[in-house]
Structure 1
Amino acid sequence: MGSQRGPGRGPVVVVADFLGAYSLRLIPGIREVLRARDVPLLVHVNDYFTPGVSRLLRDIVAGGDLRAAIVLPMSKAQSHDDLDELLTAHPHVPAVALGTASGQRPTVRADNRAGMAALVRHVLDEGGAQRTVLVRGVRHHVDSLEREAAVREALAERGLLLDEALVVEGGFSRDVTYDAISALVRAGHRFDAVIALNDEMALAAVDALHDHGLDVPGDVLVTGFDDDEIFHPRCTLTTVSQQLHHQGRRAAELVLELLDGAPPRDVLVETTLVRRSSTARALSGATRVAAPVPAGARLDMVPAGQAAATNAALDMNRAFMSCTSEQDVLRELGSKLPRLQVSRCFVVLHEPGSEERPRERDGRLELVHPGGGTHPGAEDAPRFPVADLLPAGLRHELEHGTLLLQPLGVRGHELGYVLYEQESLLQHTAEVLRMDVSLALDTIARHRELETTVSRRTEQLRREIDVRERAEADLRAANAELRRSLHRDGLTGIANRSAFDEHLAWAWGHHLGDGGELSLLFVDVDCFKLYNDTYGHLRGDAALRAVARAMEASALAQGDLAARFGGEEFAVILPATGSAGALVVAQRMRQEVRRCAIEHRASLVVPWLTISIGIATVRPRAELQPRDLVEAADGAAYAAKAAGRNRAVVASAVPVRLPPR
């Protein structure tokens, strides 16, 4: 952010490593206070899976035009330490720590000890618990450490010692907690309460106990912390509210005090015990009791607007599969932004070679929404220092509203960043703009690198006649890798749509000559939009990869090809196979998917992931085309879904397409 802007007009930056339930309830409170003072807000979201601080954040902090910083807790110790070091090195940016104690800067935090002490008293004194399991969070995390200490102190006050055999690591993760509680039950440990240090882990404990035949709260009381208000079909969760919205407001107020010259101070926000059905047998006091979940509540309920955003994200993901250039990717992104409920968006990609110039990294503006269109790679696309975030003609966009800033990249390699505004702050949109766009751009960049490698090897051949044989081998290898990458689906690793079209054309021509039968399976993952709405984009991608592996394991004959057709749709080409053989492969495929045991509690069929399969068989002849076989298999898949899903349906015949008159 350059010197051309007036003093004091830069934004306040919020630094988070994940846009989840915690941060999404803090940010609106921050926004309310800053908006009332006409102070712009910038929310920088790190890549959760890459430890440390992004190069982009280092650039904008060092740029000198940030007004102040509000730092949310970091999930990884390296990220916390790197951020602390960065802010210490730049004292011109006053900072407030939110949720994490800091000896160097003022802090706004919830009173973890008082809240956890009240929770333990509720479980022990009113619930009568005798043997309590403690599910820890992240070891370096201050909230986790304070809450655990409060549990131990509350027990000690009653002359009780925590059995260390009942202390398990949860890592603030559902999967880790589910496995840990399951292991305790299988090992025969007896306990009557589970105190988890956040709500995610508590709900995982509820699932684990239920799956091992234990009732909550009949056999075991379960409590969490944070009051994330996550819907669960078996119970509502007793927890502690941190008053996150209020914490956000206090953090913003504290920042404004610092900017007005007030001395730094810490703020401790009162917590509230929230009693719900997971400790129902202990509900006798006067502490706040949350209203029950309405009888009509559904497992697949999502925040307002997120369902439409999910549909737009799936459409965009399908479109990305056919993109062959940055221009294609950005054009598809720009067309979907209104449906993603994004009101402003700017995409900046790093200039080639700028990574080698650490003190003068440049970016080029590739997309402006609304109204600016896309101009990827254009000679007149504005170039500017990335520390400025936007070129001079658009820098006024940083002076109002709330913009979310997310680096684009894969495996720690930054390609650029996306800067956007969304009033409703949907987590799903943040995941899509970071992961899907990053993957699409990275795939194209890798293809370009392979093409560059091929070109370089070819030139080397012309120059190095004496080593021609070795250079030719390198060229063949690079070309083969390029062809494989162009015919491989980036997400699942199986054949993509282009490879499917080529293989179907080959099989059709082969059987047109020998008169043999050709079968096609059209596979659709049942209720996949509900799966993504319920479990998120990352687990949705993992589910698609599992289905792809099951398909490849089922199509065993030479010449068979399993491919991703688009989105959650797959297709399998079975040369020299009649309808009976194709049905055998289809049933084997359904069994392989069932063996994966992928939970899908939002499914309208059964509580695990299933597939519907359409089967069509034909002997290719002159009056038919390959697309007739595809349409017949697609129609059979539609019939399978209409008949209740989780089944295979064989098309009665492949209709002949009448020529136009």
Structure 2
Amino acid sequence: MDHQHPNVAILTDWIGPFQKTVLKTLQETLHAAGVSTTTYVGRELHHPHPVYATSNHIYQMVQPQGHQGVFVLTSTLGNHSTDEELRAFLQPFRHLPVVGFGRALPGVVTVQASNSRGMQDLMEHLIVLQGHRKFVFMQGVEGNPDSSERENIFRAVLQDHGVVFREDHCLNGDFYPPTARHAMLQFLKDGQRDFDCVVCANDDMAVAVMGVLQEHGLQVPQDVAVVGFDDVESGQSAPSPLTTVRQPVAEMGRVAARLLLDMMQGLPGADVQVPSRLVIRESCGNRTLPEIPLEDLQELDPQGELFAAFLQQLNGIQNAFLPFWKQTLQTVDSAVQLERFQNLLLGWSETSACLPADQQQKALKLGLQASQLVSERIVRLETRQTVGQLRQVRHLSHVGTSMGAHDTLEGLLSELKHSLPSIGLQHFMLALYDQFGRQPGNRVKVQLSSGGVGQEGEVLEACDLLPGVLLRDGASLNWQVHPIYVNDEHYGCFMMVEPPDWGGDEELLRYLVTRSIHHMVRTQELIRHSEELEHLVQERTCQLEEANRELRKSLLMDGLTRVYNRTAFDDYLQRTWKEHQRSGQSLALIMCDVDFFKKYNDACGHLAGDQCLRSIAQALFQAAYRPGDMVARYGGEEFVVVLPETTAEGARRVAERIQATVAALKLSHPASEVSEHITLSMGVKSQVPRPGEDALQLVHQADQGLYQSKRQQRNHITVL
């Protein structure tokens, strides 16, 4: 490693919980060796949806000579790729040490989780201990090696035990919850009820299947057992915690980093398989205590100090164990890891069985106290995580609203420079192409930089940007590089360093930055068009007046939903309020909010979220159809309807019409807690404006009604 600050390129398709876990341990190990990383975040290669191809131009910007090694998530990046396609993709890095993760690839050193051990233990448990015989299998992506291997082991164990598997019980979920949900719905719709266990190739699909079964009156595990693979957080917190196979992702990240460091030193590398492990919870119908893995006992208390303290307190030494135990738990920041400490206590209980009866009683009491401390720590962690996520969502929502209000690049850059540090980012950079279009530009300009990296206003060749500018100032930081694009139009790159324990949503932030730039570019295009027309005013007056009218209308329209925006609403409400003060008639307002919209975005993606908002806007427009009625997007997933000369009862009828129109759309919502389709919560207020009163009073009252609807049960109308 001749460079002062050696750097490893990380190629990934996403920054989700799985990727974060991998990257955290990988980067910690590399950082300890003085190696930084640059993470290029595109999408899956060769994805059937063409829009993903636009984001994957980010991989073409990677300059191999700027890195000393490459780490690639072959398992997720290559979901839709053959081995030959993946190897062709990695060809530019053939002279560098390359380590793959999760999917074996000929000619590439790979760290894998062994599907075989965990999957075989899972099937043996279901058949031998739980007695299941009638299985459904939910496949992952067709042709994906992980999905194929898990299915092959599933079939082999069934065959070994003489269990017949019906081929019409093999469903395809594509590793994607909405697809798995649809497949299970269709399976039940066809009248299939002759099964007692659903085995899914990953946990995300398993959670979706559990939801479908519950909707059809089938309880898990009383009526049907459901199991998965991966041990993700959503499975752990399901109503019936999910039995699954845990991939040692964190350990795999450390192994991959050590492999890469060795290869960067010129040492040969070889494939490594880390065994997966069965994790037994309620969803399989477990009726026996799980066997405690010996690894848990050794790894969590390698020197036996905790157990020694446990025995000391049993022998009368006060506070020998519980304070030490509590202090140890304070260093653990993962609910999954804390679950293993519960296993440690169970293992000790087996050891305590040989103690005298009086000490067994003491051991039981002490074990319960220690278990209570574990539970309290889990609750605190989950509460802190939830509160932190909500705080980040609120901050990001505020940042997105602020950014979207700027129509000039200067205003947007100023807002970003102010807002990004407020959400915890200290190192970030925005570089835009010299030309926007279907192909990335040849040159880029550094529009925004912080933390002493890059120089604002600097123009350089696109091929010199990454990782050159990020590493030029010598800082050893772990950068993420996100493409900025909309549909097939490239704008540039947004780069950031994620702070430790940030808890934010990188994808949401990228989306907000992208939408703000897109809005600014489109607005500037309209303004430039207007200016060009003004030069022709004498000879083409009619054309200029029409263009100006369209321009003003466009500036008052929400770019996504094509209903009026917040500015247009504020202006219209003030004018209508004054008119009603003079006439003495009632003015009504309906505030609408899409229920659980963030969960919808998380489950279905932001593209589907955008389409959902467009459909909702059109439904509102159809329901409020009088000439004076106005529909506007208030912000995010909130809409507002202004109803002139309308009483409270009339406004209620309009709200009910809105509710019926939205219900008729039947927009599927896989993550809703109140319905399988998209629903709205609404607050309704009507009043006669009096002299001296402010129109904001009406908005506030309607918003209070909306708050009550959301607080009560959602999918509800509250009239104040």
Q: TM-score, normalised by structure 2?
A: 0.77
Equivalence for 2:449? 368
Q: Deviation digits for residues 456-487 of structure 1, max 9, x if unmatched?
A: 5666898xx8xx79xx76x6776565444322
Equivalence for 2:53? 51
The 1:187–1:11 alpha-carbon spacing in structure 2 relative to 1, beyond 3 Å, is: same
Q: Deviation digits for residues 593-613 of structure 1, max 9, x if unmatched?
A: 566577597879999854241
The 1:139–1:476 alpha-carbon spacing in structure 2 relative to 1, beyond 3 Å, is: farther
Separation in structure 2 between the aligned mates of residue 236 and residue 82 of structure 1, nearest angstrom: 38
Determine whether 1:560 maps to 2:563.
no
Correspondence list, 1:106-255, <5 A: 106-189=109-192, 190-230=194-234, 231-255=236-260
Does the CA contact (< 8 Å) of 1:520 and 1:571 recur in 2?
yes
Q: Deviation digits for residues 188-236 of structure 1, max 9, x if unmatched?
A: 2211111101100011111111111111111211111111132434211
What SS does the corresponding residue of 1:351 show, helix, strand or coil?
Answer: strand
Correspondence list, 1:57-72, <5 A: 57-62=59-64, 64-72=65-73
Correspondence list, 1:333-412, <5 A: 333-352=416-435, 361-370=442-451, 381-389=457-465, 395-396=471-472, 399-412=475-488
The structural deviation recorded for 1:371 is 7.5
Equivalence for 1:104? 107
Equivalence for 2:94? 91
The 1:637–1:449 alpha-carbon spacing in structure 2 relative to 1, beyond 3 Å, is: closer
The structural deviation recorded for 1:565 is 1.9
Does the CA contact (< 8 Å) of 1:52 and 1:79 recur in 2?
no
The 1:479–1:56 alpha-carbon spacing in structure 2 relative to 1, beyond 3 Å, is: farther
What one-letter code is carried by the residue in structure 2 that aligns with 1:14? I
Gaps of 5+ in 1: 652-661
Q: Percent identity at matched positions? A: 28
The structural deviation recorded for 1:256 is 1.1
Q: Deviation digits for residues 397-445 of structure 1, max 9, x if unmatched?
A: 5641311111111114321112111234657421222111101111221
What SS does the corresponding residue of 1:42 show, helix, strand or coil?
Answer: strand
What one-letter code is carried by the residue in structure 1 that aligns with 2:561? T
What SS does the corresponding residue of 2:492 show, helix, strand or coil?
Answer: strand
**Which residue, 411, 417, 420 being the options, matches 2:493?**
417
What SS does the corresponding residue of 2:480 show, helix, strand or coil?
Answer: strand
Separation in structure 2 between the aligned mates of residue 507 and residue 44 of structure 1, nearest angstrom: 51
Separation in structure 1 between the aligned mates of residue 13 and residue 468 of structure 2, nearest angstrom: 28
Equivalence for 2:370? none
What SS does the corresponding residue of 2:286 show, helix, strand or coil?
Answer: helix
Separation in structure 2 between the aligned mates of residue 312 and residue 482 of structure 1, nearest angstrom: 32
Correspondence list, 1:471-620, <5 A: 482-508=551-577, 517-524=586-593, 544-545=613-614, 547-592=616-661, 609-618=679-688
Correspondence list, 1:636-647, <5 A: 636-638=702-704, 641=707, 644-645=711-712
The 1:632–1:457 alpha-carbon spacing in structure 2 relative to 1, beyond 3 Å, is: closer
Does the CA contact (< 8 Å) of 1:107 and 1:265 recur in 2?
yes
Equivalence for 1:259? 264
The structural deviation recorded for 1:305 is 2.9
The 1:540–1:213 alpha-carbon spacing in structure 2 relative to 1, beyond 3 Å, is: same
Correspondence list, 1:313-332, <5 A: 313-332=396-415
What SS does the corresponding residue of 1:227 show, helix, strand or coil?
Answer: coil
Equivalence for 2:17? 21
**Structure with the bigger percentage of helix:** 2
Does the CA contact (< 8 Å) of 1:111 and 1:270 recur in 2?
yes
Does the CA contact (< 8 Å) of 1:26 and 1:248 recur in 2?
yes
What SS does the corresponding residue of 1:338 show, helix, strand or coil?
Answer: helix
What SS does the corresponding residue of 1:150 show, helix, strand or coil?
Answer: helix
Separation in structure 2 between the aligned mates of residue 496 and residue 454 of structure 1, nearest angstrom: 21
Equivalence for 1:630? 696
Query: What is the Cα-based RMSD across aligned positions, in Å?
Result: 3.9
Does the CA contact (< 8 Å) of 2:577 and 2:695 recur in 1?
no
Separation in structure 2 between the aligned mates of residue 79 and residue 365 of structure 1, nearest angstrom: 37
Q: Deviation digits for residues 82-126 of structure 1, max 9, x if unmatched?
A: 663242134233211111111121111111122212211111122
Equivalence for 1:37? 33
Separation in structure 2 between the aligned mates of residue 203 and residue 356 of structure 1, nearest angstrom: 40
Does the CA contact (< 8 Å) of 1:518 and 1:577 recur in 2?
yes
The 1:476–1:512 alpha-carbon spacing in structure 2 relative to 1, beyond 3 Å, is: same
The 1:356–1:163 alpha-carbon spacing in structure 2 relative to 1, beyond 3 Å, is: closer
Q: TM-score, normalised by structure 1?
A: 0.83
The 1:92–1:586 alpha-carbon spacing in structure 2 relative to 1, beyond 3 Å, is: same
The 1:518–1:146 alpha-carbon spacing in structure 2 relative to 1, beyond 3 Å, is: same
What SS does the corresponding residue of 1:50 show, helix, strand or coil?
Answer: helix
What one-letter code is carried by the residue in structure 2 that aligns with 1:254? L
Separation in structure 2 between the aligned mates of residue 397 and residue 83 of structure 1, nearest angstrom: 33
What one-letter code is carried by the residue in structure 2 that aligns with 1:28? K
The 1:607–1:90 alpha-carbon spacing in structure 2 relative to 1, beyond 3 Å, is: closer
Matched residues, number: 628
The 1:406–1:606 alpha-carbon spacing in structure 2 relative to 1, beyond 3 Å, is: closer
Gaps of 5+ in 2: 45-50, 294-338, 344-373
Correspondence list, 1:440-459, <5 A: 440-455=516-531
Larger deviation: 30-39 or 407-416?
407-416
Separation in structure 1 between the aligned mates of residue 113 and residue 122 of structure 2, nearest angstrom: 14
Equivalence for 1:655? none
Separation in structure 1 between the aligned mates of residue 440 and residue 231 of structure 2, nearest angstrom: 46
What one-letter code is carried by the residue in structure 2 that aligns with 1:212? H
Separation in structure 2 between the aligned mates of residue 631 and residue 598 of structure 1, nearest angstrom: 35
